[in-house]
Amino acid sequence: MGNRLVILGLMAILWGCGSSEKAATTSIENQVLENLVSQKSFIIESEWAQPSTNNAMNSVANSGLFLPGNSGSNINLTGNPNYLKVQGDTVSAYLPYFGVQQVTAGYGTGSAIEFNGIPENWKTARNVKKNSYDVTFTIRQDTEVFQVSLTLYPNLTSHLHINSAQRNFIKYLGKVSELPEEDVNQ
């Protein structure tokens, strides 16, 4: 009985230390994220694209054109260059697009989602319930208008949703980090 009490006591102490360490880590992560958002200085690199599921994407998935591990609703972006960069009042992005494009962009242009400029209707809100930051804005590139919704979490993961009247909805899952030094000094 005595040994059991000692073991239970040690377990309680170790568990308590683990909890305080986790709380300290969470507090640091919250502060890092808060600084990135308040300074409007961060970059997101997406690891997954999640296009809208529809007959066209299902047909492509069923044809066997996707690499193993990918599907019509979940595509691994490892090795594909992509970013969404916020630098002060300017936002730029290059995101591979998978899905149905209702209006073609014109001869010789790519099908990626690309924009660079000053967004309209920029809103940032702290979501206490989800322990995250929600960022929304609208940005125009040539004839296309993108409605962007971004959720950033303290563990520095991101959920990026993009709507456009010319393309089907797409979501990107990725990581948020500080801008590289060369971008900060520009």
pLDDT tens track for 125-156: 999 998 999 999 999 998 899 999 999 999 99
Confidence check: pLDDT of 67 > 90:
no
Weakest-pLDDT range from 27-41, 102-116, 150-164: 102-116
Cα-only R_g, the chain = 21
DSSP sequence for 149-162? EEEE-TTSEEEEEE
Confidence check: pLDDT of 22 > 60:
no
Q: What are phi and psi of 112, to 5 degrees?
A: -70, 160
- Delineate the domains of the chain, giving CATH numbers in brackets: 2-184 (2.40.128.410)
Average pLDDT, integer, range 67-90 = 83
Joined tokens for residue 28: 């640091």
Q: What are phi and psi of 143, to 5 degrees?
A: -95, 0
**Do 134 and 149 form a contact (C-beta atoms < 8 A)?**
yes
- What's the confidence (pLDDT) of residue 150? 97
**Do 169 and 160 form a contact (C-beta atoms < 8 A)?**
no
Whether the predicted model's global pTM rises above the 0.95 cut: no
Three-state DSSP class for residue 25: helix
Cα atoms in the 13 Å half-sphere on the side-chain side of 128? 0
Joined tokens for residue 87: 């630098």
- What's the confidence (pLDDT) of residue 159? 98
